[in-house]
Structure 1
Amino acid sequence: MAFSSTIYFLMGVLTNIFSVQAIPLFETAFTRCAITLILSYLWLRRSEQPVFGTSQVRIILLLRALTGCISMSSFIYCSQSLPFSQAIVLNSTVPIMASIMARVFLHDKLKVADIASLACCFFGVLFFFREALTTKGHFVKAMEASYAHAKTGHHIFGILLGFFSSIMGGTSYCLIRAGAKASDQPMLTVFSFGLFASPAMGICTYIFEDFVLPGFQSILLMLVSSIMGFFAEVLLARGLQLERTGKVANVQYVEAGLRQLWSLAFTKVAPSFDRLVGVSLIVISVCCTMYIGPDKETE
């Protein structure tokens, strides 16, 4: 799970450093989903695994693909309707929703240590959000750009849609876990998502956005990010297959901590107290979760 979160972090770093052309979000999502579909199909065919799984798990795979696609679409709209920092905070509630949904539907144990770890990580993200409202620089510019696209009448709807995206994302985590355990093949959950999300993102691109023909550098960046995203999805599915959702969800906050450490290391802005506290909370919480060790369930 730490590797999965690290890959997501590296994808963000590559995008920030080498992005030279503004590509619409739905178009970017379509590219990533299409690459995920192709790679997961080739993986399953090479390993001689049934592409669509057995009849017992197909309904789980379908629901996983549906909830994952809805969560992605909702977050894209949320990020376009709300200030950048608010969209990030709403998206950071996905691990919390995943733990709650796993307790309700999968009857996973939600220990006091899990609750404390999730709370520490989320408060760490809130410290980053507080600094984003006051610190001048790149983050504020991105936030101001988001404000320019936000409409007052859609603000409340964007917040509600952000929460809905988190609920769907948390439910998707549970279905990934259920599908991976039932089929003993986490790659099936990745393939089912790509199979459903690719045409859905393509339709959204056609309806809601104007197609932008990317240049060579943008195409290369999108391909590299999509391949990295594929491996991150595989590692996420494998982690959910092996561990309780509560522990996996907590480790997901590694990405937020790494983003802040990158910013502290490679920007000229002096580290603030809020950012240092936020990073410390996430690092300590995740280290404690990993130090406790594997907590695999016995069938």
Structure 2
Amino acid sequence: MRSMWMLVAAFMFACMGVLVKLGAAYFSSTELVFYRSLFGVWITYLILRFYRLSIRTPHWRIHCWRGVTGLVSLLMFFYCLTQLPLATAVSLNYTWPLFAALFSTLILKEHIHWPLVVTVILGFMGVMLLLRPTVPDDQWFSGVMGIASGFFAAIAYINVKQLGNLGETEWHVVFYFTLISTVLTGVWLLFTSFSPITGHGLLLLLGIGLVATLAQLAMTRAYHQGVTLVVSSLGYSTVLFSSLWGVWYWNEILSPIAWVGMGLIVAGGLFSGIVGFRLAPTVTLK
């Protein structure tokens, strides 16, 4: 039952995707990332103060690298959410475990494990099937951005693992990520422009910040209390929840081939996690 917190997190992440798509009518994707991060940085700051944890860290270089790569991934993902069907955007972002499996060999200098190679090929076959029937010719840029969001997310997750090995708490990782995201997007918007905030737009921004924070809290509790492999597997229910939201709210009917592609992406990610779990501690995926 403790791993069921991941289902709560997955549902909240899917709700965040819905709110981001709705918020695109009022704000740019950069603004949405800014307000989402601003909400998160204050929440995590208050939590750190509540537990009387010091904000200082000796590992600021890795925090900066994780913050930048995570921000780039988030910007691309939010942009993809505003341009593509919800289920398609989420599925493309969830290619990050496939990239993480590759990075375990290319960046972490691990030995090549052929089961991982097979899962990566399986996942990227799913990407090709998902893109071809789902993304029109004039939206291929958005599709590439979705895949790139998974690429940078994988680097960010490797940085998170490194910070965990150095003893940094989850709250410090989230705090510095949201702080860096808020500062960088805020500076960018100062030199461009902020959209006016209407009553409806404000509700959407608060909703995005709230569900994103609740999702982070539920995911943190799931990883703390549940079995890692089970929790990671349940995380893919975000794709299912997003698909249901897309069908119900926007009538986003995907073709059978697209569903097969989504299934291959999920299967590739799940199998990469299973193989990595069995190879641990040789291969680090999270």
- Asked whether the 8 Å contact 1:3–1:232 carries over to 2, the reply is yes
Change (3 A) 1:255 1:116: farther
- The reply to whether residue 181 of structure 1 matches residue 183 of structure 2 is no
Matched with 1:33 is: 37
Amino acid in structure 2 at the alignment position of 1:61: H
Aligned partners of 2:260, 2:143: CA distance in 1, in Å?
Answer: 26
- Asked whether the 8 Å contact 2:74–2:149 carries over to 1, the reply is yes
Gaps of 5+ in 2: 1-5
Aligned partners of 1:212, 1:10: CA distance in 2, in Å?
Answer: 23
Change (3 A) 1:271 1:132: closer
Q: 1:223 aligns with which of 193, 198, 206?
A: 206
- Asked whether the 8 Å contact 2:62–2:159 carries over to 1, the reply is yes
How far 1:276 moved relative to its partner?
A: 3.5
Task: Report the more deviating stretch, 178-187 or 260-269.
Answer: 260-269
The TM-score with structure 2 as length reference comes to 0.71
Map 1:114-193; keep pairs closer than 5 Å. Answer: 114-133=116-135, 166-193=150-177
Change (3 A) 1:159 1:270: closer
Amino acid in structure 2 at the alignment position of 1:64: R
Matched with 1:11 is: 16
Q: 1:94 aligns with which of 93, 96, 120?
A: 96
Aligned partners of 1:202, 1:193: CA distance in 2, in Å?
Answer: 14
Matched with 1:152 is: none
Does the residue aligned with 1:52 lie in a helix, a strand or coil?
A: coil
Aligned partners of 1:108, 1:239: CA distance in 2, in Å?
Answer: 28
Aligned partners of 2:143, 2:262: CA distance in 1, in Å?
Answer: 25
Change (3 A) 1:122 1:5: farther
> Identity over aligned residues, as a percent?
20
- Asked whether the 8 Å contact 1:117–1:285 carries over to 2, the reply is yes
- Superposed CA offset, 1:15-42 (max 9, x none): 44x6594211111111011111111111
Superposition RMSD in Å: 4.6
Matched with 1:137 is: none
How far 1:229 moved relative to its partner?
A: 1.7
Matched with 2:180 is: 196
Aligned partners of 1:282, 1:112: CA distance in 2, in Å?
Answer: 18
- Asked whether the 8 Å contact 1:114–1:246 carries over to 2, the reply is no
Q: 2:195 aligns with which of 200, 212, 217?
A: 212
- The reply to whether residue 44 of structure 1 matches residue 48 of structure 2 is yes
- Asked whether the 8 Å contact 1:8–1:255 carries over to 2, the reply is yes
Aligned partners of 2:220, 2:279: CA distance in 1, in Å?
Answer: 15
Change (3 A) 1:185 1:20: closer
Does the residue aligned with 1:211 lie in a helix, a strand or coil?
A: coil
The TM-score with structure 1 as length reference comes to 0.68
- Superposed CA offset, 1:58-93 (max 9, x none): 3322221232234445666x759x9748x9487554
Aligned partners of 2:114, 2:27: CA distance in 1, in Å?
Answer: 43
Does the residue aligned with 2:54 lie in a helix, a strand or coil?
A: coil
Map 1:51-90; keep pairs closer than 5 Å. Answer: 51-53=55-57, 55=58, 57-73=59-75, 84=84, 88=89
